[in-house]
Chains A and B, each alone.
Chain A
């Protein structure tokens, strides 16, 4: 479980996060949605420790991040997996080496054991015949799968995904969403996903937090989002005619 209390973050005196509080539960896909510039990525990077917060509290399993020792923080980092928007694969390494990298860095396992574990994960994300390929030789969807495989290879407790299906075709995007959902259920991970893809919201949004201008505007589940009266949420989520009609049909039912 991850809990944040009133976190604030500014860049050059421009406030980006203006006091966000939320709880993200274990075994659930927690979606953070909002317009571009609403502070989603900064929020995620604050949780990851890539940005330090100006004020507020971040708890991982009731342990406050700021009060953790250096050793505890190091352990925590190894319990985190991250899927970056652009996948962030190491381009000098093959797919297999990318996935083996965290294991080689943080475990004392033999090379053969590391390779075996990597191949289990590769199978889990349905990557076929890609082990020896380099990132620039595979498609965007495959890159995301490699990034997910690398993120889960250490059996993380927390999985963070920044726009995991941006730039993907709708079919691949749904496959990636479903894969994240399955992995979250299977390994009971606390998963946080930054997205502004409404298909993801409708498909896997077990908990949704809507950010607006650096503040939490609304939170609920994918079912709640159909019935909410919050104007900012409805304007954002149902901005297309298609989604407006989908909502009308849902509400009539």
Chain B
């Protein structure tokens, strides 16, 4: 499938429109839910960290530090990607699956169009912008942590800001983006595969979406482990 996706290319004029449409639906359309989840989960991480710092000898700036590390290393790249497997992945599987069930893919094939390239390539290109979504999530996660911590009275603004600057290792951000780049490819291809090769009717579109979500999540979790093992140990 991947080989054929990069095979005979669709006319650029048409492909450009498909890419822009997919950027709108898959990337820009996901910003709202990503912002909402990131902000509140960042807040919860900082509150829980604060509540677990009972020892008065531990500095308050640890709240900011822990929030930053959790959000940048795991929450934004991995947790958001799992959520995207549900949102974006289901959308991709059901939209391609519906095209399969209603013979729209057959109609494209009869016209001589490379359906892999026409349907899947724009999604891969659109989701190459996915790291931008994750950087947005990182910012809002830490910001949510700051708001919850400072306005919840768990630490001062200065302590939190000191915490998020403390022992900062720039490679951690690089590591997060490397993971994200792999996840974006998984998010575009596994759901496309399940949509493209599905059989049956409307009910099977739903089943394919569920199966696609499970496999995309499994692939993300396993790859997350593998990349972490390779890059951080």
Contacts and interface: CB of A to CB of B under 8 A. Distances in A.
Contacts of B113: 105
Q: Say whether chain A's binding surface is mostly helix, strand, loop, or mixed.
A: mixed
A236 interface: no
A104 B98 CA distance: 23
Interface in A74-91: 74, 77-78, 80, 82, 84-86, 88-91
B65 to A, nearest CB: 47
Q: Output the residue of B13, B102, B111 with the most chain A CB within 10 A.
A: B111
B10 interface: yes
B103 A88 contact: yes
Nearest to B11: A105
B4 interface: no
B103 A105 contact: no
A48 interface: yes
A88 B107 contact: yes
A181 B103 CA distance: 24
A19 interface: no
B111 A86 contact: no
Interface string B102-125: 111011011111000000000000
Contacts of A45: 106
B187 to A, nearest CB: 21
B169 interface: no
Contacts of B232: none
Contact of B102 (A77, A78, A88): A88
A105 B14 contact: yes
Nearest to A147: B107
Contacts of A105: 10-11, 14, 111, 113
A251 interface: no
A82 B112 contact: no
A102 interface: yes
A50 interface: yes
Nearest to A104: B14
Nearest to B106: A50
A78 B112 CA distance: 7
Contact of B106 (A77, A84, A91, A102): A84
15 contacts: A49-B109, A74-B112, A77-B111, A78-B111, A82-B106, A82-B110, A84-B103, A84-B106, A90-B104, A91-B102, A104-B11, A104-B13, A104-B14, A106-B11, A160-B110
Enumerate the 10 nearest inter-chain pairs by beta-carbon distance, A residue then B residue, closest first.
Answer: A77-B112, A88-B103, A88-B107, A82-B110, A84-B103, A74-B112, A88-B104, A48-B110, A102-B111, A78-B112
Given A48-B110, A80-B110, A82-B110, 9 more contacts: A82-B106, A82-B107, A85-B103, A86-B102, A88-B107, A104-B13, A105-B11, A105-B111, A106-B112
